[in-house]
Amino acid sequence: MGKIFVTYLNKKEVVLSTFPFSLFLQVKRPITLHEGHLDFLIDIRDSQGHKHTLPVRLLHQSHESEVNNIVTAFVQIRLPQDKLKIFYSITGPGADQPSTNLFTMDRDSGSLFVTKQLDREEQAKYTFKAYAVAAGSGDAKEPVNIITNVIDQNDNKPIFVEDIFLGEVAEASPKNFDVIQVVAKDLDEENSYNSDLRYSILSQEPKLPSNNLFVINPVTGFIRVNAGGLDREKYPKYTLEVQAADMGGNGLTGVAKVILTVTDSNDNAPAFTQSSYQALVAENKADVQIMKMMVTDGDEPHSPAWNAKFKIISGDPEGLFSVKTGPNKQEGILSTAKGLDFEKNNKHTLLVAVENEVPFALPLPTATATVVVKVEDVNEAPIFDPLEKLVSKREDLAVDSDVVQYTASDPDTACNQNVTYRIIRDPAGWLEVDKTTGLIKVKNAMDRESTFVKDDKYTALIGAYDNDVVPATGTGTLVIQLEDVNDNAPIIEERTIRVCNKESTPHLLSVTDKDGPGYGSPYSVSLQGTSKSKWTARMNDSKTGIILNLATELDSGQYTVVLSVSDRQGLEQDSTVQATVCDCTGAEVQCIYCVATGTDLHLILRILGGFLLLLMLVFLLLLIERRGVKKEPVMRDTAVSHNVVYYNEEGGGGDDQDYDLGVLHHGLDNRPEVFHNDYQPRPFECLHFNPSILNL
């Protein structure tokens, strides 16, 4: 068992080690070192229960920041075998490892030395291994662990994280309102007395209206308002000098500045430059600017506490007006939200209030202004009721029958004006209106199937006029729902077909009816005239199409097939189908044209010869007549005794302008079907060529 001598000062911890184990020694209270050291004994029992006494000497050790040019010994290791020569050494960081030679051990005495000044903020603890070797034997004892803690010294002053702290405080801030927090750091040992900081305010500029407008929490560093009296208009900025001191406020110090800008609070209410306003606005006009109302405000310009906003608080239950803030934020623009009605109310009295974009910082009265708006009367157009009128009538309503009375009223009741009517738009020319009563009648026959009718509805625009100096016109829309009648017979869409005369295939012909569903299919069909013996016709299963086919084999050529088609109510009409019969078989229709033979060719040649002879005779007669006629002079030599006057009135006068276009349209739309209206010229089906003619 060996002896350990330790140099130590104040209440700190040190780890002591000896072969073959380590000890941890703690000084609990301050001690006095007589003659620079203190000796004492430590009793230790081993695992066998044997008692061992370890002598310890406590020596003085310098603090981390003391500059000491003398190498200091603070630990000495000894073995009890004092009669043997022992050599001592250490290894570890700070000894034989970086930082090298910071610590050394005397080879003969076993004293541990520090060679340079220590800095706890760089490294707070060093760990070594100490070795002891007997001279001559070469036997090395088990190494001893030495842990050296560097004792902190208050060698770092507090430093603020910013040299200048910037903050804002509203002028209406209440007492104890937190404004800003300042923070300082101390590099000494954390949570120790050396890094225990306290904050304080050293000065305030300006010192008005009092020198203690702000206080600081000494522990947290929060600066708060301590008294009232902040006024941006008088003192817009304050500069505070703050201090942080360690060791609970009794040690080293650091200082910084805090600049606080006093921001505007809404402590001034906006006020109208006038208490009342008057204006005149024409009726019936929406989004018309009536006036601008100016205000003033003592708060900081262009801040939310200065910007004004307006609202109408009374006098506008129907929402006829609107008020908004102008571009400069100090004016209210009053406008009409809807058209005003002079006959209903010719004067409006409004109460307009003004506030700021942010609430008042303290109780303030709200400014108001009275606005009187007078309504100017204007001539208004008559108004139809309803603006769109829907009536239902049969399409075959007789001419001169009443359709509906569609009238308008004049809103200018005070003027007692007369209202007259006329038709502004009547595309088909079917209607006429009584100019005084507004009674609308049928002028020309109506037709639901007309192109002017959309979805069974015919639309006309009716006008109403007052008798003002400058008449005002109102319009109403008349919509006539035309009820269908069975006035259109079914027709066949396909008018030409081609079939083979042998084993011909049936043709499906489509049938349509312009009338509505109640007057259309099922259809029926029958053949007319000579078509009955040559063709067959029947309706398909859906009764909407005709199946037409040859009844017997016919010579090739053109044939007219007459079919009578009737609708479900029996309204019928004959339709013609031009059928080309070709000399072929089956569904693939092929017509072959050839030159005529025998007598037919002789007949053709004779006809052509006679035609040429006739042309020659006509030419000869014209030539003879031309030679026998004498030309008259253009102007006679004798004087003209009378003038010839030409009355060429362009257009034939006014009679040709007075016609009804609607009658023309109606007649064209309802023309009866004419047989052969799509008849094509018939070619020679087969011209037979007789080779014997070449022998002539």
What pLDDT does residue 28 have? 55
Helix, strand, coil content of the chain in percent (nearest 5): 10, 40, 50
Give, in order, the Cα–Cα distances in Å from 401 to each of 26, 420, 446, 459, 541: 127, 21, 11, 18, 43
pLDDT for 26 equals 57
Q: In the chain, which stretches have pLDDT less than 50?
A: 1-22, 62-73, 595-599, 633-696
Residue 289: Cβ within 10 Å count:
11
420-425 β-sheet, strand order: 388-394, 473-483, 457-465, 420-425
The arrangement of secondary structure in 383-483, i.e. its CATH architecture, is Sandwich (2.60)
| CATH 2.60.40.60 residue window(s) in the chain | 3-149, 159-263, 271-376, 383-483, 491-585
Question: 421 CB contacts (<8 Å, ≥6 apart)?
Answer: 406, 407, 408, 433, 434, 435, 436, 437, 438, 462, 463, 464, 465
Instruction: Give the pLDDT confidence score for residue 315 in this predicted structure.
Output: 96
Give φ, ψ of 256 to 5 degrees. -155, 170
Rounded to an integer, what distance in angstroms lies between the CA atom of residue 53 and that of residue 42? 6
| CATH class label, 491-585 | mainly beta
Q: How far apart are CA 59 and CA 69, in angstroms?
A: 18
Residue 228: what pLDDT? 85
pLDDT at residue 338, as a whole number: 95
Name the class of domain 159-263.
Answer: mainly beta
So what's the pLDDT on residue 600? Answer: 55
Q: Can you give the pLDDT at residue 37? A: 62
Which one is the CATH code of 3-149: 2.60.40.10, 3.40.50.150, 3.20.20.190, 2.60.40.60?
2.60.40.60
**Eight-state DSSP code of residue 673:** P
The whole-angstrom separation of Cα 110 and Cα 77 is 5
DSSP type of residue 532: H
**Domain 271-376 top-level CATH class:** mainly beta
**What confidence score (pLDDT) does residue 436 get?**
93
